Amino acid sequence: MLFRAYAKINLILSVSAPKPADSDKPGFHEIASWFACIDLHDELTITPLAAGAPNEFNVRWSADAPRGTAIDWPAEKDLAFRAHRLLESHIGKSLPARLDLVKRIPVGGGLGGGSSDAAAALVGLNQTFGLGLSLEQLASLGSQLGSDVPYFVCDAGESAAPAIVRGFGQKIERMSRIESGVLLVVPPFGCPTGPVYKAYDSLLADRAINEPTRREAIANETLLRKRLGKVRASIEKELGFPSDLLFNDLGLAAYRVEPRLGRLATNLGNALREPVHVTGSGSCLFVICPKGKVEAMTQKARATVAAVEPGSVCIATQLL
């Protein structure tokens, strides 16, 4: 059985200051974010094996992957593999199967590929073996693997609906879907999440990010909802998608960690005359495209990124 694992972008991402040393999660950050899937996906094929057979796991890059990297991590660290083991542990019996993962979603791009793969494994194994676990149960299991995994848990054959995700990823409020073209830019390098968050903490300490809400104990959900309401109102009135209302608190930190990303975003914005956004902690960038212009903007973007950062890939995609 074949299951798709879709990538996501953070249309809005608000990040709290690190939790204090005497808290339950010292040093960790809460978020308030508007997640939405895009039409870029990995593919997971699950093949049941004979009773008693050892599990098998294979991963490779698709020939059309925008940025393939060395698959140098052991199977035990792959989130899809770990999801298989976690599910077996939860139900108390083996689920002999071969998992073949074909990847397109770049590693270190802020697109949630590993988390989406894990969710696909949980949902796919549940369906393949007729376990009867609810989506809520699968999401709870997924939270043990990573904070983004619960968002991706949805009915097999579908992409996860957009959502406001809060806290440490455990609070998920599903939203209605929005149609829009998206230009996705995949640089030839990734952004390591840990250093980006450390840079963000430094910016907070130096007051380079000076809004008081950025130093509060919780992420700025109020600002997110206010912006989200304006976006929806503009779309409902057929005024277009006001991309200038989107924001990512980690954007400046990502540019500090990887200056090439900042140069790429600046040149791309100047060429397209549209806001350019970072997803997650980087390194992928995206542009919300006016109706009917995604293909033309993608073509224009390719010439720009080729001159600024050779090896970058521009993909015309859409919100799901």
Length of the chain: 320
The answer to whether residues 43 and 101 touch, using CB atoms and an 8 Å cutoff, is yes
Q: What is the average per-residue pLDDT within 254-269?
A: 97
CATH class of 2-174: alpha beta
Spot the catalytic one: 8, 78, 117, 249.
Answer: 8
**Can you tell me the distance from the alpha carbon of 255 to that of 86, in angstroms, rounded to the nearest whole number?**
36
**Domains of the chain by residue range:** 2-174, 181-318
Q: What is the average per-residue pLDDT within 217-246?
A: 84
pLDDT at 224: 85
Q: Is 148 an active-site residue? A: yes
Q: How confident is the model at residue 212 (pLDDT cuts 50, 70, 90)?
A: very low
- Nearest one of 205, 213, 216, 198 to 256, comparing CA atoms: 198
Q: What is the average per-residue pLDDT within 27-48?
A: 96
To 5 degrees, how large is the angle CA 12–CA 294–CA 224? 10
Residues 155-204 have pLDDT tens digits of: 998 999 999 999 999 999 999 999 999 999 999 999 999 999 999 999 88
Beta strands in the chain (DSSP E): 2-15, 31-48, 56-61, 97-103, 163-167, 171-174, 181-186, 247-248, 277-278, 285-289, 313-318
Helix, strand or coil, per DSSP, at residue 212:
helix
pLDDT at 209: 56
Residues 83-111 have pLDDT tens digits of: 999 999 999 999 999 999 999 999 999 99
Spot the catalytic one: 42, 78, 117, 148.
Answer: 148
What order do you get walking across the sheet with 181-186 strand by strand? Answer: 277-278, 285-289, 181-186, 313-318
Structure tokens at 230: 């304006």
Q: Is 8 an active-site residue? A: yes
pLDDT at 172: 97
**Can you tell me the distance from the alpha carbon of 223 to that of 216, in angstroms, rounded to the nearest whole number?**
13
Architecture of domain 181-318: 2-Layer Sandwich (3.30)
Backbone dihedral angles phi then psi of residue 220, each to the nearest 5 degrees: -80, 75
The answer to whether residues 160 and 152 touch, using CB atoms and an 8 Å cutoff, is yes
Structure tokens at 30: 């809460």
**Can you tell me the distance from the alpha carbon of 248 to that of 166, in angstroms, rounded to the nearest whole number?**
14
Residue 307: its H or E element? helix 294-308
The answer to whether residues 252 and 203 touch, using CB atoms and an 8 Å cutoff, is yes
